[in-house]
Chains A and B, each alone.
Chain A
């Protein structure tokens, strides 16, 4: 057994908070009613679902009526993009997105590209940021939608969403942002933020998997993906995943408290200890993504001369759960498209390592990583034909 078990892959998913789980459990047993039923069994569950909607709305300062629940972040992204494309296809066929979006966004746009839409995919700079002038110039009279992720999952960079939203407003283009990594971790105020559609997922903020939400600003119309009984304002039919929705609501409530209490600041401090400590201890390593415009729980690196999967496996044996954008971790032979879009060469991208903190991560955990990783890197580098000056 390893000395310590340290889960550092909260960008992939978080554990379900105990308080969240406890709120969910009755909806698997005694509170089994269908929220669409008129009787007492149904009404009781309906009020819990609406309370959950209110809590998710409050997290991003939206109206409950603007929040619709989905079966996860990917579905919410698909619904936002295809829903706008379908609804405004008569007005224009041009769509704008970026090269570093999550596949739920990028592949949806690529699919639309094969179905009569014209898609512009914007590049990013070395920090993973989209250039605002380029963004502005990409918007044409026939552009109906732009989608830029709030914060990137692989490198943690936070985009200038407010500025982009303002540009979209100016040009009369709808603006969607995938905030799956950001929501619940940094303050988002949709009363002030010029965003029309925003995606969230419960399992990135200590809620359950398989539950997401799409914020649809009042007055913005989209077409549904799933037709049927007309649940979720007619935009997502199907009997509600009541336990999941209640869990999302509880997770959102918890996230608001974390943000308000300054807990996030402590997370940021630990993240900086990790970033600074790692860069100091490991030669020829670099941070990927922006140093300050960055998710508070996110640290990502490239460790030169070695390959990511080998690093992950050795970390795993030492009790540390991390991830990498190396080709070998995906089963494909291409390293992370995000890192390549940021201008990294293939060999460097193969050596990527992502460590994402959670609310239970302690300073001792960070110290354990900082003492465990350097010898692993040293061992793998001793095996590598690539050395400094070669």
Chain B
């Protein structure tokens, strides 16, 4: 199992902004259950500013910790600012992630972008996009396999 630092553990054990949102202005769902992580982001936007943000995540500790950190980082920010958030920013704010867990932070970045895209479509009166469940896992970003336990 991966070795996480204290910040990651803290974010995993006490994540912020957890749960679904009633009548959100935008929803983004990314990831793939086959790969072991799916993230759903809900936005409430007022005057192009993220007034509230929530997440629901199926995934490992790193996926939950990055969900919490990413939502914390964009809460209260403008849409433009939120779109500048990168997976590196999220990983750095958590004090770093084990190499094989970097793909989890990518999911946070993608989740927020997908939610913003959905918000924009809705404000133009367009229908919501379906969840973006990538057909392939981010294999190239995974670290080498660790020794097996038994």
Stretch of B52-60, B82-90, B117-125 contacting A (4+ beta carbons < 8 Å)? B52-60
Encode B19-38 as 1/0 by CB contact (under 8 A) with A. 10000000001000111111
Q: CB-CB < 8 A to A383: which residues of B?
A: 15, 18-19, 55-57, 64
Decide if B148 touches A333 in the complex (CB within 8 Å): no
Decide if B145 touches A332 in the complex (CB within 8 Å): yes
Q: Determine whether A236 belongs to the interface, using a CB cutoff of 8 Å to chain B.
A: no
Decide if B61 touches A309 in the complex (CB within 8 Å): yes
Distance, CA A153 to CA B64, complexed state (A): 29
Report the minimum CB–CB distance from B94 to chain A (whole Å): 15
Q: Determine whether B39 belongs to the interface, using a CB cutoff of 8 Å to chain A.
A: yes
Q: Determine whether B100 belongs to the interface, using a CB cutoff of 8 Å to chain A.
A: yes
Report the minimum CB–CB distance from A333 to chain B (whole Å): 4
Q: Determine whether B92 belongs to the interface, using a CB cutoff of 8 Å to chain A.
A: no
For the complex, count residues of B whose C-beta is within 8 A of A. 42
Q: CB-CB < 8 A to B55: which residues of A?
A: 383
Distance, CA A308 to CA B2, complexed state (A): 13
Decide if A386 touches B38 in the complex (CB within 8 Å): yes
Near B by CB (< 8 A), chain A positions 101-129 give 102-103
A-B complex: 6 closest residue pairs judged by Cβ atoms: A328-B60, A347-B33, A385-B56, A331-B146, A309-B60, A385-B40
Decide if B38 touches A314 in the complex (CB within 8 Å): no
Q: Determine whether A280 belongs to the interface, using a CB cutoff of 8 Å to chain B.
A: no
Given the contacts A306-B58, A350-B33, A382 and B18 also touching, CB distance less than 8 Å: yes
Decide if B39 touches A385 in the complex (CB within 8 Å): yes
Q: Determine whether A326 belongs to the interface, using a CB cutoff of 8 Å to chain B.
A: yes
Report the minimum CB–CB distance from B90 to chain A (whole Å): 17
Decide if A102 touches B64 in the complex (CB within 8 Å): no
Distance, CA A317 to CA B10, complexed state (A): 12
Report the minimum CB–CB distance from B61 to chain A (whole Å): 5
Decide if B58 touches A386 in the complex (CB within 8 Å): yes
What are 26 A-B contacts with C-beta separation under 8 Å?
Answer: A9-B149, A306-B58, A307-B59, A307-B63, A310-B60, A310-B63, A310-B64, A312-B1, A313-B1, A317-B13, A328-B59, A329-B149, A330-B145, A330-B146, A331-B142, A333-B137, A333-B138, A333-B142, A346-B36, A347-B58, A350-B33, A383-B18, A383-B64, A384-B57, A385-B38, A385-B56
Decide if A307 touches B36 in the complex (CB within 8 Å): yes
Distance, CA A102 to CA B62, complexed state (A): 28
Decide if B36 touches A331 in the complex (CB within 8 Å): no
Distance, CA A350 to CA B137, complexed state (A): 14
Decide if A333 touches B149 in the complex (CB within 8 Å): no
- Measured CB to CB, the nearest residue on chain A to B59 is A307
Near B by CB (< 8 A), chain A positions 262-314 give 305-310, 312-314
Decide if B145 touches A347 in the complex (CB within 8 Å): no
Decide if A346 touches B33 in the complex (CB within 8 Å): yes
- Measured CB to CB, the nearest residue on chain B to A73 is B150
Distance, CA A312 to CA B64, complexed state (A): 14
Taking A332-B145, A333-B103, A383-B18 as known contacts, 7 extra A-B pairs with beta carbons closer than 8 A to each other, sorted by chain A number, are: A307-B37, A313-B1, A323-B149, A330-B146, A333-B142, A347-B34, A383-B56
Decide if A331 touches B149 in the complex (CB within 8 Å): no
- Measured CB to CB, the nearest residue on chain B to A346 is B34
Near A by CB (< 8 A), chain B positions 129-149 give 137-139, 142-146, 148-149
Most buried by A among B40, B57, B58, B100: B58
Decide if B18 touches A385 in the complex (CB within 8 Å): no
Report the minimum CB–CB distance from A358 to chain B (whole Å): 15
- Measured CB to CB, the nearest residue on chain A to B138 is A333
Decide if A327 touches B36 in the complex (CB within 8 Å): yes
Distance, CA A323 to CA B149, complexed state (A): 9
Decide if B13 touches A329 in the complex (CB within 8 Å): no
Distance, CA A154 to CA B61, complexed state (A): 22
Q: Determine whether A335 belongs to the interface, using a CB cutoff of 8 Å to chain B.
A: yes
Near A by CB (< 8 A), chain B positions 84-129 give 100-101, 103
